[in-house]
Amino acid sequence: MRAVIQRVSEAGVTVGEKNLSAIGAGLLVFLGVEQGDGEADAEYLLEKIINLRIFEDPDGKMNLSLVDTGGSMLVISQFTLLADCRKGRRPSFVHAEEPVRARSLYSYFVGKLRERLGRRVAEGEFQAMMKVRLVNDGPVTIWIDSRKEP
């Protein structure tokens, strides 16, 4: 699984004219599911994401996590994170998981986040054309891959 995490002061997502979700200060997570990913990948990413110390403490140092701050979270499924652009000019998505399996792991990830955080986790609409708006705070943007070799 691959995630791009952005620390935001606010974020929201719409599909068509419908506002699906909006959050205040917290994290916006774009999540891509790769072929071969499983529940262990989801568990690894969610623990890493909610415990990353990327929020400022009273001294202005990035020392606090989402768990520490009680911040909000918005998760958006995004298969394009698995794009392979090494050949030609058109991205290939052959490494992205097929939709049924990807939806299952995406739902597992969001469900486990809700259990772990004990609160609402906002989300987009799987396989929909979404418009995501955000105010990146910092800016802080981090990429995490559950299977990247050190």
Compute how many other C-beta atoms are within 10 angstroms of the C-beta atom of residue 110. Answer: 21
Q: Is 48 helix (H, G, I), strand (E, B) or coil?
A: helix
Compute how many other C-beta atoms are within 10 angstroms of the C-beta atom of residue 79. Answer: 21
Catalytic (active site) residue 126:
no
Alpha-carbon gap, residue 120 to 43, rounded angstroms: 18
| Catalytic residue (one of 30, 55, 78, 109) | 78
Do 121 and 109 meet the contact criterion of CB atoms below 8 Å apart?
no
Catalytic (active site) residue 6:
no
| Catalytic residue (one of 79, 109, 127, 141) | 79
Q: Which amino acid, residue 51?
A: N
| Catalytic residue (one of 35, 80, 93, 127) | 80
Catalytic (active site) residue 80:
yes
- CA within 13 Å, CB half, 68: 13
Compute how many other C-beta atoms are within 10 angstroms of the C-beta atom of residue 61. Answer: 10
- Catalytic residues, by residue number, are 78-80
